[in-house]
Amino acid sequence: MTIRQPTHTPYDGSSKLFTIGLKPLELNRWIEVDHLLLPHLAEKRRLYAEIPEKIFVEEEETRDAQQEVFDLLAGYLPAKHPETHRGAGSDVEVVGLESASNALPPELNKAPLAHASLLVQEDLIIMRRGDNGWRLAAGSLCFPSSWSLQEKFGKPLQQIHAPVPGFGPGTRPADLINRMFDGLQGQPVERFNWSIQAGDALYHPLSNGERIDRATNRPTRFSDGDINAHAFIRVERQTLRKLPVSRDILFTIRIHLDPLAVLARHPDKVALAASFADQLNALDQAQLDYKGLSADRDRLVSYLAGMAMVA
């Protein structure tokens, strides 16, 4: 049996938590497609059928920008990934799936961003510049990493990042992010974020109220015996790209989920496990609470330290 190694390992020290870490991105690496394309799109379709109001938001004035996103993807995907995407323009489709028009609720059938979201594994967020800075103006977020699209809709960046330790309004990182958004031009950029979750759910929302309760109660998610079975590394690959016509910014988020136990079979397991443990140890209490790791950090570090021991 072929063992699939993680696609990205930002916990190797290359993308430390609670840092901005933007890097230039070549357009030929913009959208990732892998063996999970069809199951991920099937999960998106399920969510659109069951909870569309929780995974899609839009300002009416963003439809032109939404179409711009769809057109960029329609041109990119068949050219870059012809084995999984075919067609052109409005007729682009995913090989092996029926039309996205049949998968969307009637109220979203005319929303180009909803159609675009069913072509890719990435979530798609449109940020628009206004008097209060860059705000979340439209989005398809099927695979949230502990946040709520409804709560962030219409809010500027500084309010969106308010719960993140060290990134709230008035902080230097918040100001830097705003300047980076203002300065983004033709060169897309990417960054990585990562965390550990219990189970392999792609749809992993969390409201602000739940986040506060989690930090207050600091519940244990992993018993000593089930880290190997139930702990998953959740890696977010994020990209930012300025839309050439609307001048809005498209923020994409691709989720990769790997069992923590997969590191034991990685050729660089010693270095990866040691770096992972070091970064968990470096988190302060506010950061641990934000990540939901306060009660589990020590046992996770112990697990990783054992993996890092050279036989």
- Residue 100's pLDDT band (cuts 50, 70, 90): confident
In angstroms, the CA 226 to CA 124 distance is 34
The pLDDT value recorded for residue 301 is 95
Q: pLDDT by residue (tens digit) across 188-199?
A: 999 999 999 999
**For residues 115-132, b (16+ Cβ closer than 10 Å) or e, as one string?**
bbbbbbbbbbbbbbbeee
Strand partners of residue 202 = none
The pLDDT value recorded for residue 206 is 83
Strand partners of residue 87 = none
Taking residues 171-192, report their average pLDDT: 95
Start-to-end CA distance of the chain, whole Å, equals 24
The pLDDT value recorded for residue 98 is 85
Q: Please say if the pLDDT value at position 68 is more than 60.
A: yes
Q: In the Cβ-directed half-sphere of 240, how many Cα atoms lie within 13 Å?
A: 24
Regarding pTM above 0.75, the answer is yes
Q: pLDDT by residue (tens digit) across 109-136?
A: 999 999 999 999 999 999 999 999 999 9
- Residue 311's pLDDT band (cuts 50, 70, 90): very low
In angstroms, the CA 215 to CA 196 distance is 15
- Residue 212's pLDDT band (cuts 50, 70, 90): low
Type of residue at 51: I
State the burial class of residue 189 (Cβ atoms within 10 Å of its Cβ: 0-12, 13-18, 19+): middle
